[in-house]
Amino acid sequence: MTRSTALVTGANKGIGLEIARQLGGRDFAVWLGCRDRDRGEAAAATLREEGIDANCLTLDVTDAHSIAAAAEQLGDRIGALDALVNNAGMSFGRRLPPSQEAVDEMRAIFDVNVFGVVRVTQSFLPLLRKSAAARIVMISSGLGSIASTLDMTSENWNIASVGYSASKTALNMVTAKFAKELAAEGMKVNAADPGLTATDLNGHMGSRTPRDSAAIAVRLATLDMFGPTGGFFLNENADTRPPRHPW
């Protein structure tokens, strides 16, 4: 039986590395899409020491040439891609109000969190289409919820930074559009909110560990044929039933 294959972007540390580890534990051959090759190779070596079939794939989500080269390289190594987890993301970590946040920083955030996801998904679609049951997972955030942003009782009420939040709102729409397009082909495309997790991205704020937060992405990457598509799922909603509240 052919082993399933997964690509996880931004996988040399944090939630991405843990997603790769947990997929490897489910007998996936995992490819760690990493901008820094040395760090990616070190992360892959760590997983191999744990008995996981892991390899590094040099991939910069902001560079179309890098993505194209990575897609060609992976296509030479595998017959099909069964799961793509768009985990790579960025934030400057500054909590400035919209009136003070630099547009250049917002643009950089969107280039990774939105356009990077579109670039990667488009480039790896040919390999995904060779799978009998491809799954695409977008790592989103509750900060992208407009309803939550306007809710005074929400933990998001006091979060200012517009660039990161708006990028996740846009990513949710990207998820929905890809889900609609690819549904007829049997692909499932969903967004996962891992919750506030202590990683380098947020200065290690939050009570969740990467191990806990990776669970929802892994579940969505391994959905059976009856699983949902076009949804936004919180980490607590590990059984991936349709969300009670929209996006």
- Please tell me whether residue 71 adopts helix, strand or coil conformation: helix
Tokens of 24: 């490897």
In the set 13, 130, 164, 188, the catalytic residue is 164
Question: Dihedral angle at the C-alpha atoms of 14, 18, 21, 23, nearest 10 degrees?
Answer: -130
DSSP characters for 133-165? S-EEEEE--GGG-HHHHT-TTSTTTT---HHHH
* Contact by Cβ (8 Å): 8, 32: yes
Name the phi and psi angles at 176, rounded to 5. Answer: -65, -40
Residue 42's identity, in one-letter code, is A
- Catalytic-residue membership of 188: no
Cβ neighbour number for residue 21 with a 10 Å cutoff: 22
Positions marked active-site: 164, 168
